[in-house]
Chains A and B, each alone.
Chain A
Amino acid sequence: MGVARQFGAFPVRGIAAVVLALALSGCDGEAPPQGAGTGDPGKGRAVIASVGCGVCHEIPGVPGAAGIVAPSLEGFGGRSLIGGVHVNEPAILVSFVSDASRLNPGTGMPAMPITERQALDVAAYLYTLD
C-alpha cells in the first residue's frame, strides 16, 4: 500500500499550492537542514501529510497534524532521544520512522507504508523542526 494511493485532497489543492509557495518563500536564508543523509525536507513534509503521521503526532508545518496519541515533534531537531530510548542520529531516525517496533518492541507505532527513500526525506524534514 503506497503513500501515493489516491486520497481526497480536493478542497485544498489550489489553496495548498499558493500556501506552499508562500511558505517556501519564507525559507530563504534558513540554514540547510542537517543530518539524514541526502533526504529532501520538502518531499518529507509531503510524505508526512499523505501518510497521515499527524493522526498521532503534532507536527509543526504540516496542516492538520495535531495528534495526541504520540509525542509532539515540535523541536525534534534539538531532541536528544528518539522515542525516549535511542540516540537521535539520522540513521536511527530513518529506521525508526519506517518501523519503530524494530528498535522499540513496546511501541504502539505501526510500521509505516513508506520506502527507504521516503524515510530519508521524512527524517530530513523532522530535523528542520527546531
Chain B
Amino acid sequence: MWRPISTRWTRPAPLAALALALSACEGPQSALSTGGPVAAAQAFLGHVMYAGAAAVLVLVMGLTAYAMLAPPGARAWLGRRQIIVWGGVTFPILTLSVLLVYGLWLTREAQWSEAGRIAPASASDGTLRIEVVGEQFWWRVRYLGEAGELVFETANEIRIPTGRPVALSLSSADVLHSFWVPSLGGKLDMIPGRITTLTFSADREGVYRGQCAEYCGAQHARMAFHTVAVAPERFSAWMAGQSSPAPEPRDAFLSRGLEVFLSSGCGTCHTIRGTAAAGTSGPDLTGLGGRTSLAAGTFPNNAGTIAGWIASSQHLKPGNLMPSFDALTGPDLRAVAAYLESLE
C-alpha cells in the first residue's frame, strides 16, 4: 500500500545535496572558481552548456508530460513525421555542431595558437617558460632562462607571477600522466616521448591546487601539486633566491642534519645545490622548506612530516621510488628533518 512520505524527512535531503554541490564550486581546485583568463573562458563554456542542457531537459520533460497527459486530439501533432525529424535529428545535430565549433574556438587560445607562437628557444615576448615532467608519483619542475637553458629545478610546486603568460612544456619520464590545474586551465596529457605545451596565466594571487588527471599507477591519487601565483616583484625575488645554492647550515644541529643526509646516501637520488648531493632521480630538495606541501601535495610540510616521510615513505605512499629510511636514530632523524625544513 502506498503511503505519502513525510516531508519532514525528505526536505533536508535536497538542501544537503545542494550544499554539497555548491561547496565544490569554491576552494583551490575548482574549474568554477577561476584564477585566470583561460580557465574563465572554459568556465563560461561550461555554464553555457549547463544552461543549454537544462533548457533542453525542461523542454523534453514538458513535451513528454504533454504527450502523456493532454487529450488525444490536442497531442496528435507530436506524432508527426516532421516533429520527429526536426526535434529528434536536426535540432541535436545543429546544437552539438555549434557547441563543438564554439568550444574549439575558445580552447584554441589555451593550447594551439599561444603554443605555436612561442619560439622554442626564446621568451622575448615575456612568456615565462617552465618544463614540467610527470614522474611516478611527483612533478619535476624546471625553470628555463631566455635562451632555453636550465636556471634551476624544483618539484611539486610551480610558482608563477600574476598577469604574465606561462608556457608549460609537458612531458613524462615513465607512463601517461595528465597535467590539470582546474582554476587556471587545462587539462593536458603528458605523453612519454612527446612534448605538449599548455599556456595559461593567473589574474590574481593565490594557491591553486593541481592534480594528475590520468591514472598512472598505485599512487596516482597522491600525485598533486600547487601552483602558487604571486605578484611579479615577489616572483622575481623568489627566482633570485632559488637560483642560488642552498645556504650553509646555520648551527651545529643543522650541520649534523646535512652530515646525516650525505652519509645516509640521500644524495644518490636527491640534489641539494651547494652540497655534494647531486642525484637526479628524485626531487631536487634545494628549496624544500619553502614548498606548500610534502610528497606531491600529500602532506603538510614541516619538520615533523618530513621526518615521518623519511622514516616511513613506503608506508605512507606504497610503491613510490623512495625507500623508508627507518634505521636512523631519533636525533639523526630530527636533525635531517630540521635541515631540510631550513632550506627555503
Query: Who on chain B is nearest to A6 by CB?
Result: B207
A82 to B207, CA, bound (A): 38
Q: Are A113 and B334 in contact (CB under 8 A)?
A: no
Q: Are A110 and B307 in contact (CB under 8 A)?
A: yes
Query: Who on chain B is nearest to A17 by CB?
Result: B23
Most chain B CB within a 10 A radius of its CB, from A52, A109, A110: A110
Interface residue B44 (Cβ < 8 Å from any Cβ of A): no
Mark B38-68 against chain A: 1 for CB-CB distance below 8 A, else 0.
0000000000000000000000000000000
Interface residues on B, range: 35 or more
A70 to B330, CA, bound (A): 11
Q: Are A8 and B297 in contact (CB under 8 A)?
A: yes
Selected from A8, A18, A68, the residue in CB contact (under 8 A) with B28 is: A8
A55 to B306, CA, bound (A): 9
A44 to B28, CA, bound (A): 24
Q: Are B20 and A18 in contact (CB under 8 A)?
A: yes
Interface residue A107 (Cβ < 8 Å from any Cβ of B): yes
Partner-A contacts on B (CB < 8 A): 16, 19-20, 23-24, 26-30, 207, 209, 224, 226, 289, 292-294, 297, 299-309, 311-312, 315-316, 326, 328-331, 333-334, 337-338, 341
28 A-B residue pairs with Cβ-Cβ distance under 8 Å, sorted by A, are A1-B302, A8-B293, A10-B27, A11-B29, A13-B26, A13-B27, A14-B20, A15-B20, A18-B20, A50-B300, A51-B300, A51-B302, A52-B305, A53-B304, A55-B316, A67-B312, A69-B311, A104-B330, A106-B329, A106-B330, A107-B334, A108-B307, A108-B311, A108-B334, A110-B304, A110-B337, A112-B302, A113-B303
